[in-house]
């Protein structure tokens, strides 16, 4: 039997407490929150009585024998339906297998089976999230209660909305001689070279990107868009163009400069908001991050948020993070202590805003999930129509953290996403009460301090870890950790399955496809001899 998850509704209530983000360098969780998933009673009469639904007995249509709803009960809402993968494949008559050659068949079977289940309930299917074993559909209340009883359904939850997180747009400025926005110096981006940024790709999920802007890069920029949203290379609201400018505006003697101003960093744009819209759904955001991952992104910026948590979205963010991506999102602009999502998931860095004097912005949300801060008040960046403008909001703070993460990581590609995250927290400029606090998190992100820390201490603080590997039979070209004797590195062949398959081989990490002495496969560095 399935379950329905609905937040802040009169029908069911879900109580969900997520683990607080790290309060130590290792981001050790200090408390947790629980999800209560309510199952339906077996008897329809009991269910109707419990939920206060009208009695549909005797109102049977000729189509599939399903009750015919009165007009006032036919309103449909958008839901995510999470299926039980084994049961769904069994329903489709497809055996569960881990073999790569059967994966495409399993995916096709999943989609067909999910479509079959939804069509049985006359649901309006919107899309299938195959990698999450979930589908998105519009359901009325009767379809909702009946679908939740299906043996292949694990749970059903609302597909919550996510909103753009800016507060206001100030004066528009035409072309001008180059200036450095205060935020770039505040986060020390001007003190670290981005000459190695070709190793990184940043993904911006937003309203688009004015590709023709003279102060924004065009080379190495790719993009994706949602159906009906227009080209990713246009931006109806200018929000995405402003966010992107903080990260990548060029050092070219005009306008402004971004955190990575050389034009070397890879950039992928996902247009999740249409030209007139300011909100989207959690399922779209999951799909957008998947598009970022498909494009090879290392760091993802999400200058958006919503008030309700979503189990499918949370699980997806954890999977993306565990697969090596660094996820950054806005804490929110309501000036209260409420949790906003996706920033308040443990897998995501929640960013608060400060002003030019490093004071906490009055609109910036304050809670236990805030991890880092960035400049977010009157931030000057690129805008539509090849202009520039000042904007305020945690939407403006997040790209400072995103840019710094990519900048530091580009200079230390041997580090993992979790290590970069830890170091950014460790080296942030502390503000407010001692330790991590709800206003600033660990403090204002600092590029130079983080870069210097890794240079001196290594990714984990155990000495230099700047290994460089050659795809050669001996596998012995690298720099050993401080105190180790130079020589070869012992490699363990792990076969074809890599725990971290998208990483270049470094100490304590993995690599695929090596030829030579060990043959192709996945290798782990065991020690430096």
Q: 171 catalytic, yes or no?
A: no
Q: CA–CA separation, 442 vs 453, rounded Å?
A: 16
* Annotated catalytic residue within 239, 281, 400, 451: 239
Neighbour tally for 520: CB within 10 Å: 12
Q: CA–CA separation, 527 vs 525, rounded Å?
A: 6
Q: CA–CA separation, 506 vs 276, rounded Å?
A: 45
Give every strand in the sheet of 522-528, ordered side by side.
489-495, 522-528, 510-512
* Annotated catalytic residue within 159, 165, 206, 466: 206
Q: 395 catalytic, yes or no?
A: yes
Q: CA–CA separation, 110 vs 116, rounded Å?
A: 10
Q: 206 catalytic, yes or no?
A: yes
Q: CA–CA separation, 421 vs 122, rounded Å?
A: 45
Kindly report the three-state secondary structure assignment for every residue of 87-137: HHHHHHCCCCCCCHHHHHHHHHHHHHHHHHHHHHCCCEEEEEEHHHCEEEE
Provide the token pair at 105.
Answer: 């068949």
Question: Using alpha carbons only, how large is the chain's radius of gyration in Å?
Answer: 25
Task: Indicate left, alpha or beta for 2 from its phi (over 0: left) and psi (-120 to 50: alpha).
Answer: beta
Residues 6+ apart with CB under 8 A from 445: 187, 372, 373, 374, 400, 401, 404, 405, 424, 428
* Annotated catalytic residue within 237, 303, 305, 395: 395
Q: CA–CA separation, 437 vs 433, rounded Å?
A: 6
| Residues designated catalytic | 206, 239, 395
């Amino acid at each position: 039997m399935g379950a329905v998850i609905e937040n802040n509704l009169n029908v069911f209530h879900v109580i969900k407490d997520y683990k607080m983000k790290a309060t130590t360098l290792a981001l050790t969780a200090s408390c947790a929150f629980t999800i209560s998933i309510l199952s339906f009673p077996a008897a329809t009469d009991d269910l109707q009585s419990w939920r206060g639904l009208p009695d549909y007995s005797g109102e049977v249509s000729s189509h599939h024998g399903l009750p015919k709803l009165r007009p006032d009960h036919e309103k449909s809402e958008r839901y995510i339906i999470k299926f039980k993968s084994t049961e769904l494949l069994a329903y489709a008559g497809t055996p569960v297998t881990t073999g790569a050659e059967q994966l495409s068949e399993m995916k096709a079977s999943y989609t067909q089976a999910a479509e079959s289940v939804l069509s049985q309930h006359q649901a309006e299917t919107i899309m299938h999230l195959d990698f999450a074993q979930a589908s998105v559909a519009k359901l009325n209340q009767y379809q909702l209660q009946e679908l939740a009883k299906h043996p292949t359904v694990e749970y059903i939850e609302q597909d919550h909305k996510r909103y753009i997180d800016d507060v206001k747009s100030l004066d528009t400025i035409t072309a001008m001689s180059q200036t450095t926005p205060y935020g770039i110096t505040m986060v020390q981006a001007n003190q670290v070279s981005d000459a190695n940024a070709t190793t990184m790709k940043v993904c911006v999920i937003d309203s688009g990107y004015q590709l023709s802007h003279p102060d924004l890069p065009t080379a190495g920029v790719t993009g994706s868009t949602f159906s009906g949203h227009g080209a990713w290379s246009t931006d109806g609201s200018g929000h995405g163009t402003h966010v992107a400018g903080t990260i990548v505006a060029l050092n070219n003697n005009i306008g402004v400069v971004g955190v990575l101003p050389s034009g070397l960093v890879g950039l992928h744009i996902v247009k999740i908001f249409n030209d007139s819209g300011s909100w989207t759904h959690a399922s779209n955001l999951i799909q957008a991050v998947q598009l970022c991952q498909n494009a090879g992104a290392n760091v993802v910026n999400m200058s958006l948020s919503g008030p309700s948590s979503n189990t499918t979205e949370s699980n997806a963010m954890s999977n993306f993070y565990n697969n090596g991506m660094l996820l950054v999102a806005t804490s929110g602009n309501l000036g209260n202590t409420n949790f906003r999502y996706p920033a308040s998931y443990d897998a995501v860095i929640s960013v608060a805003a400060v002003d030019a004097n490093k004071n906490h912005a009055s609109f910036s949300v304050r809670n236990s999930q805030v991890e880092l801060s960035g400049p977010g008040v009157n931030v000057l960046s690129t805008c539509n129509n090849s202009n520039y403008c000042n904007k305020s909001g945690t939407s403006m703070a997040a790209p400072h953290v995103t840019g710094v993460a990519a900048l530091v990581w580009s200079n230390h590609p041997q580090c993992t996403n979790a290590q970069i995250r830890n170091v950014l927290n460790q080296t942030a400029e502390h503000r407010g009460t001692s330790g991590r606090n709800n206003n600033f998190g660990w403090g204002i992100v600092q590029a130079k301090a983080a870069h210097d820390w890794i240079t001196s201490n290594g990714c984990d603080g155990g000495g230099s870890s700047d290994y460089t590997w050659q795809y050669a039979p001996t596998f012995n070209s690298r720099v050993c950790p401080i105190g180790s004797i130079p020589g070869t590195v012992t490699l363990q062949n792990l076969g074809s399955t890599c725990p971290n398959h998208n990483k270049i081989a470094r100490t304590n990490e993995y690599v695929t496809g090596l030829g030579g002495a060990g043959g192709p496969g996945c290798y782990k560095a065991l020690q430096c001899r």
